Chains A and B, each alone.
Chain A
Amino acid sequence: MGSENILTVKDLVKEFGDNRVLDKISFTVKRGEVVVIIGPSGTGKSTLLRCINSLTPPDEGRVWLDDREITDKHSNINQIRQDIGFVFQHFALFNHLSALGNVEVGLYKVKKMTREAARKKAIEELTRVGLQDHMEKFPAELSGGQQQRVGIARSLAMDPKIMMFDEPTSALDPELTGEVLTVMKDLAQAGMTMVVVSHEIGFARAVADRIVFMEEGNIVEDGPPEEILKNAKKARTREFLHKITELYGE
């Protein structure tokens, strides 16, 4: 593997019954790159993200993070997953833990940091996403945008090499979407490698290095935002973009 590519996905296949959700998907992500994946619902975008860190094990194909193969039965998946941050559409916060508890649990349970060191790091990460005043609150006491920022802080605390975002703002209203996107923009500017499944075209235009358009388990188009957004080669891509700009605005 070239050292430039941090993530390599090769011929990934996933089927649910007769439904081929991923149909031999291959792509790579370079270090520091921000890739936004767009496409109609049910085309396998979320499945792709979940197959990358094996939350959903793929049926065929291989995935490498740097030179470690995630799909190799002999690799320590729990070790590799620490390096892949994952942000969920519905936040998936641990409901019985405070914001602080959510962020520090991985640090002392997985990274085996001392409680004090874990707390210190968790406070830093929550401050980074602007939640220094809400650290003691429980998920049910936070707004959706705050919950998602806790989710981001929880992943960031593990010092991942790459961050995956699975429709991070689609469960949020426009106002709360803004605060989450701001955190993600800061993260991109800080040089984090990111793979984002999202319909936020404005975010993609401003932040993405590449936009990938997926349909029916295939990558239809893959290129820089200006090319995909202005001069998509495929009619299907243009049609989809037209629809979502009508829905979500520019």
Chain B
Amino acid sequence: MEDLGQFLLYSAIAVGKGALVTIVVTVASLLLGFVLAVPLSIGRTYGNRPIQFLIQLYEGFFRGTPHIVTLFIFYFGLRHVGELFGNPAFQIAIPPFPAAVLALGITSSAYQSLIFRSSIQAISRDQYNAARSLGMGRWQAILTIVFVQALRLSIPGLTNEATIVLKDSPITYLVAIPEMLTQARGIIDSAMGKVFFEVLIPVSLIYFGLFVLSNKLFEMLDEKLKIPGFELERR
């Protein structure tokens, strides 16, 4: 029985650490995605044809390929990139954590770019024209008038994207990021298959708890940034 207590304590700590890593991976990927998606969505809306085309290609590639393939490209693929040019000594070795955040973040940027783009298009062209008629430059009008409002409209879409990235984060298990699923697997292995649901069910519940938490945070943001009179009142 002493062993069981030890085992439970060890397991709880491991899962707790894993949960923290899951949160860090998710938040870092979302932030990277956000930082990339802002210029992407603006370029896709206001850029010239070639720029729009390149961004469309980028979005299409990262949305259209399995995220796990993207992860493998960043982690394994880049180590072998030299072989493509007959120079096996040349390799780009990205450690697991940055590779995981790059893969999830870049993938997320493709989705977030689309979220922002639809919001940008929801802001009337007249508001942009009005800003220009006051003498604002192109970028000033886009950023201070159009994009701030687009961000506000993007909150529901971002809420969704955040939960998707959260639930995609377990694929980083495959490059040995010590996130929650990796920890769960470790516990199952160390118990030599005697526990299974005992580990997976709590882990699922923690994922669900994080989902609820993230939804709640975005809901609070949504409420805080409400524009008076502009949206339906909450009942």
Contact = CB atoms under 8 A, between A and B. Distances in A.
B148 interface: yes
Given A84-B133, A92-B126, A92-B130, A105 B144 contact: yes
B134 A81 contact: yes
Contacts of B135: 78-79, 81-82, 106, 110-111, 158
B130 A94 contact: yes
Contact of A92 (B127, B137, B230): B127
Contacts of B130: 86, 88, 92-94, 151, 154
A55 interface: yes
B134 A110 contact: yes
Contacts of B36: none
A96 interface: yes
A233 interface: no
Contacts of B228: 137-138, 140-141
A140 B129 contact: no
A138 B229 contact: yes
A92 B124 contact: yes
B133 A55 contact: yes
In this complex, the interface size class of chain A, counting residues with CB under 8 Å from chain B, is 20 to 34
A141 B136 CA distance: 26
A53 interface: yes
A140 B118 CA distance: 21
Interface residues of B, number: 23
Contacts of B149: 94-96
B227 interface: yes
B60 to A, nearest CB: 30
Contact of B134 (A82, A90, A140): A82
B132 interface: yes
Interface string B12-31: 00000000000000000000
A140 B229 contact: yes
Interface in B103-154: 123-124, 126-127, 129-137, 140, 144-145, 148-149, 152
Interface string A100-125: 00000110011100000000000000
Interface string A65-89: 0000000000000110110111010
Nearest to B231: A140
Nearest to B124: A92
B179 to A, nearest CB: 38
A84 B135 CA distance: 9
Given A88-B130, A94-B149, 4 more contacts: A94-B131, A95-B123, A137-B228, A138-B230
